[in-house]
């Protein structure tokens, strides 16, 4: 297993198609798609500063990591991803992804996040953003504090404990 510790990567696709790597206290600066098509990756105490960090990736574990505002559209077409104790500051983070586990995370800008995703487990998460969870299905939620409008529009929630602040939710389109 490759190990990257206290590194700084810059430029497009810096660790493209990386397999079986442990990445610790590493910063991914300007440059799109640093871990595109990666698999079996463990990230800890790291920072993503730019766009599309995890596209078409599989089997990803993320702990105490920051996805800064410009890491937008960050996690698309990715399957089997666990993110814990992390700060997600960019909009549009998840699209067409599955087997997503989010625990003890904070989304400061969750606008248009979790679109067309499936098999999602959310535990103790705070989020701020409109159109959160649109058209997603098989969603399990255990304590989600959410500020936003039109949340889970078209979504199918299996079980939930949600506190929604200032909602304009389209109740007729959410299946619980």
The DSSP secondary structure of 138-165, one letter per residue, reads EEEEEEEEEE-SSTTTT-EEEE--EEEE
- Domains of the chain, by residue range, sit at 2-173
What pLDDT tens digit does each residue of the chain (176 aa) get? 899 999 999 999 999 999 999 999 999 999 999 999 999 999 999 999 999 999 999 999 999 999 999 999 999 999 999 999 999 999 999 999 999 999 999 999 999 999 999 999 999 999 999 999 999 999 988 888 888 888 888 887 776 666 555 454 444 334 44
Tokens of 123: 């535990």
Q: CB neighbours (10 Å) of residue 75?
A: 29
Q: CB neighbours (10 Å) of residue 175?
A: 11
3-state class (DSSP) for residue 173: helix
Q: Has domain 2-173 been given CATH number 3.10.620? A: no
Tokens of 154: 């078209």
């Amino acid at each position: 297993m490759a190990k990257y510790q206290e590194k700084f990567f810059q430029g497009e696709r810096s660790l493209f198609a990386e397999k079986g790597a442990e990445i610790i206290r590493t910063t991914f600066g300007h440059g799109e798609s640093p871990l595109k098509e990666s698999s079996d990756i463990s990230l800890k105490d790291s920072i993503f500063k730019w766009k599309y960090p995890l596209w078409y990736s599989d089997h990803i574990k993320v702990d105490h990591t920051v996805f800064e505002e410009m890491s937008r559209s960050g996690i698309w077409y990715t399957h089997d991803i666990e993110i814990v104790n992390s700060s997600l500051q960019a909009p549009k983070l998840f699209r067409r992804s599955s087997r997503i586990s989010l625990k003890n995370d904070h989304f400061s800008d969750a606008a248009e996040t979790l679109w067309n995703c499936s098999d999602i487990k959310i535990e103790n998460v705070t989020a701020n953003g409109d159109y959160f969870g649109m058209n997603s299905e098989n969603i399990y939620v255990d304590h989600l504090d959410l500020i936003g409008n039109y949340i889970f529009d078209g979504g199918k929630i299996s079980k939930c404990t949600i506190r929604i602040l200032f909602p304009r939710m389209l109740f007729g389109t959410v299946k619980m």
